[in-house]
């Protein structure tokens, strides 16, 4: 992840913070396996031994890639009144090509009552050191899709009863999206 931040205080009470960034990740997992049966010579019982039947088994490929662009801005006045907003544009290869990108944003406001003079001068300040009210709204996505091929119908090959076969292993979903309302 790459980010660039800017923080500045103006006149001792206006605090501004800006952040922009990007992120890109790619993961590729591959596995190889085999199945064996009918050992010809019990002395050679390792995988490389002499087996009458050797077939592939447990082989797979899984890939996924993410790309994101993000930004946020935060402002507070005298560490009492807060407002912030953020935005992300995310791409995920596990989604269908028509729905690969999603936009997500959020906003929040806050009020730190404990920094007001009336609160500092009250008996509550002896018990409560930090009292803030905060409200926020946002949209988030589901980036936890691990398979590049999640939107596709998938088939697998195998051997059953000595005969090769193809069988259905995944129902594709062209409407697969990352957007979750919040």
Query: For residue range 44-73, what is the model confidence (pLDDT) as tens digits?
Result: 666 566 666 666 777 777 788 889 999 999
- Lowest-confidence range among 85-94, 104-113, 120-129, 171-180? 171-180
The model carries a pTM of 0.69
| Residue 148, pLDDT score | 65
**Residue 30 falls inside a structural domain:** no
| Residue 47, pLDDT score | 58
- Tokens 């790619």 belong to 26
Alpha carbon distance 71, 106 (integer Å): 11
Q: Which two tokens stand for residue 66?
A: 């993410």
**Residue 45 falls inside a structural domain:** no
**Residue 97 falls inside a structural domain:** yes
Q: Which two tokens stand for residue 175?
A: 């409407």
**Residue 52 falls inside a structural domain:** no
Give 181's pLDDT tier (boundaries 50, 70, 90): very low
**Residue 54 falls inside a structural domain:** no
**Residue 42 falls inside a structural domain:** no
Residue range(s) defining the domain that contains residue 83: 2-23+67-180
**Residue 62 falls inside a structural domain:** no
Alpha carbon distance 47, 100 (integer Å): 43
Q: Half-sphere exposure (CA, 13 Å, Cβ side) for 101?
A: 6
Per the structure, how many domains does the chain have?
1
**Residue 170 falls inside a structural domain:** yes
- Lowest-confidence range among 17-26, 61-70, 161-170? 161-170
């Amino acid at each position: 992840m790459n980010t660039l931040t800017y923080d500045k205080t103006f006149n001792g009470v206006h605090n501004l913070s800006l952040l922009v960034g990007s992120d890109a990740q790619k993961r590729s997992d591959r596995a190889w396996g085999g199945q064996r049966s009918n050992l010809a010579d019990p002395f050679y019982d390792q995988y490389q031994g002499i087996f009458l039947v050797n077939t592939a088994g447990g082989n797979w490929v899984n890939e996924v890639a993410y790309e994101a662009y993000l930004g946020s801005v935060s402002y507070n006045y005298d560490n009492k009144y807060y407002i912030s907003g953020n935005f992300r544009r995310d791409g995920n290869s596990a989604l269908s090509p028509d729905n690969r990108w999603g936009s997500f944003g959020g906003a929040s406001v806050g009020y730190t009552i404990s920094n007001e003079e009336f609160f500092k001068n009250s008996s509550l300040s002896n018990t409560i050191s930090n009292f803030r009210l905060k409200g926020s709204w946002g949209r988030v996505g589901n980036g936890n899709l691990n398979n590049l091929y999640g939107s596709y119908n998938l088939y697998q090959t195998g051997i059953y009863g000595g005969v090769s076969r193809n069988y259905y292993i995944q129902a594709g979903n062209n409407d697969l999206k990352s957007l979750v309302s919040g």
